[in-house]
């Protein structure tokens, strides 16, 4: 029983830290001491100081402000992408699982096709072909992401489909859409939501990875991956321009991964 308490504590702790990070992202505009796009030729590559907490980058921009704005970009883009994939995937999965038939067959074959290829490779190819930009990167990652949600939603829908209360509903004359929304959805929501949360970390890695390669966010937008890529060239003279965004990336991903893990453990013991 002591272990139960530990697990609950870990879950709550990581949730709190995650919320703090999200709040930082939301209020990044207010928290940033300087304009992250403001270049200043006189202040290039200055070491961290009271004025510029994380120093300045190659164009004289405040790294601290850029890291904060980057938090907004990365975290929001990640959440948005996961949310959209979640919605599309869940709807597709529910429909496939409930109605079956040709639509199910085709959609699942399509999903197999998507999964037949390593996610990052597809993302790079698609992002490259679409010409870069944050939207392109998100579409590139989303193309493969919805499939895991779809499969999960479908398998859970399949197992619920035979439940008595569903049959009762059908006999009462309720339409398919009604049953899906009122009966199926609330029951499959939990496992699929948890899957979504555990994917946040990986998605974040994907987005910053693509930006790092130049296939995601375009300059001068602040995003951690692209910041690291830009600053890589002069890492010897201004390591802070790389290390601070790197630290922010690591911390954020660790927090969300930990949250995902803690949630899985919490649910398993529950």
Partner 1 sequence: MKKQIAIRVIELILLLIVLSLLTFALMYIAPGDPAEKRLSSQGVAVTREVLQAERERMGLLRPFFVRYGEWFVGILHGDFGISFKDDLPVAPKLWNGLQNTIVLAMGSLLLSLLVSVPVGIFSAVKRNSMFDHIARILSFVGNSLPNFLISVLLMYFFCIQLDAFPIIATGSLQGLILPTLSLAIPMASRFTRQIRTEVATQMDEDYVVGLRLKGVKEHYILLRNVFHNSIGHIFTIVALQIGTLMGGSVVIETIFRWPGIGKLVMDSITARDYPVIMGFVLIMGTIYVGINLISDIVNRIIDPRVEW
Does 107 contact partner 1 by CB under 8 A? no
Question: CB of 28 within 8 A of CB of 72?
Answer: yes
Q: Which residues pair with 62 in a beta bridge?
A: 56
- Check residue 209 for interaction with partner 1 (CB under 8 A): yes
Contact criterion met (CB below 8 Å) for 44 and 237: no
Comparing CB distances to partner 1, the nearer of 51 and 112 is 112
Q: Kindly indicate which of the ranges 76-84, 95-103, 119-127, 167-175 contains the residues binding partner 1, using the contact rule CB under 8 A.
A: 119-127
How far apart are the C-alpha atoms of 147 and 141, rounded to whole Å? 11
Per CB under 8 A, does 113 bind partner 1? Answer: yes
Given 47, 83, 106, 121, the residue binding partner 1 (CB under 8 A): 121
CA distance 38 to 49: 17
Within 217-236, which residues bind partner 1 (CB under 8 A)? 225, 228, 232, 235-236
Stretch that binds partner 1, among 14-22, 87-95, 189-197, 237-245 (CB under 8 A): 237-245
C-beta closer to partner 1: residue 168 or 237? 237
- Report residue 56 as tokens: 């300045």
Q: Which tokens belong to 208?
A: 């910053």
Is 267 near partner 1 (CB under 8 A)?
no
Between 94 and 213, CB nearer to partner 1: 213
Note whether 126 binds partner 1 by CB under 8 A.
yes
* Nearest alpha carbon to residue 246 among 230, 226, 224, 229: 224
Task: Dig out the tokens for 8 from the structure.
Answer: 């609950």
- How many residues belong to the site for partner 1 (CB under 8 A)? 38
Q: Which one, 65 or 252, has the nearer CB to partner 1?
A: 252
* Segment contacting partner 1 by CB under 8 A, of 7-15, 50-58, 159-167, 250-258: 250-258
Picking from 269, 49, 91, the residue whose alpha carbon sits closest to that of residue 177 is 91
Backbone angles phi and psi of 56, in degrees to 5 = -120, 160
Can you tell me the distance from the alpha carbon of 243 to that of 37, in angstroms, rounded to the nearest whole number? 19
The contact pattern for partner 1, residues 178-207, with x = CB under 8 A and - = no contact, is -----------------------x---x--
Q: What is the number of H-type helices and E-type strands within the chain?
A: 12, 0
In this structure, what token pair is assigned to residue 25? 């992202």
Distances (CA, A) of 69 to 33, 78, 213: 11, 14, 19
Q: Which of 8, 24, 261, 264 binds partner 1 (CB under 8 A)?
A: 261
Tell me which residues touch partner 1 (CB under 8 A). 112-113, 116-121, 123-126, 128-131, 201, 205, 208-209, 212-213, 225, 228, 232, 235-236, 239, 242-243, 246, 249-250, 253-254, 257-258, 261
């Amino acid at each position: 029983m002591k272990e139960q308490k530990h697990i609950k504590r870990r879950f709550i702790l990581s949730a709190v830290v995650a919320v703090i990070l999200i709040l930082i992202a939301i209020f990044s505009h207010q928290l940033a001491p300087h304009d992250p796009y403001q270049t200043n030729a006189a202040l290039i590559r200055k070491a961290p100081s009271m004025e510029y907490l994380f120093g300045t980058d190659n164009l004289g921009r405040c790294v601290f402000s850029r890291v904060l704005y980057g938090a907004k970009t990365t975290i929001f883009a990640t959440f948005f992408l996961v949310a959209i994939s979640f919605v599309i995937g869940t709807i597709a999965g529910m429909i496939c699982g409930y109605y079956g038939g040709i639509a199910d067959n085709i959609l699942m074959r399509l999903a197999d096709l998507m999964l037949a290829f390593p996610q990052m490779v597809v993302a790079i190819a698609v992002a490259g072909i679409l010409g870069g930009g944050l939207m392109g990167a998100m579409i590139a990652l989303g193309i493969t992401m919805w499939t895991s949600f779809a499969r999960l939603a479908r398998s859970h829908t399949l197992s619920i489909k035979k439940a008595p209360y569903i049959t009762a509903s059908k006999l009462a004359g309720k339409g398919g859409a009604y049953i899906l929304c009122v009966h199926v959805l609330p029951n499959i929501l939990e496992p699929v939501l948890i899957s979504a949360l555990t994917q946040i970390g990986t998605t974040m890695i994907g987005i910053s990875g693509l930006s790092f390669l130049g296939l995601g966010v375009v300059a001068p937008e602040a995003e951690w991956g692209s910041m690291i890529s830009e600053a890589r060239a002069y890492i010897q003279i201004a390591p802070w321009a790389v290390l601070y965004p790197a630290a922010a990336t690591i911390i954020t991903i660790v927090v969300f991964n930990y949250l995902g893990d803690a949630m899985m453990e919490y649910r398993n013991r529950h």
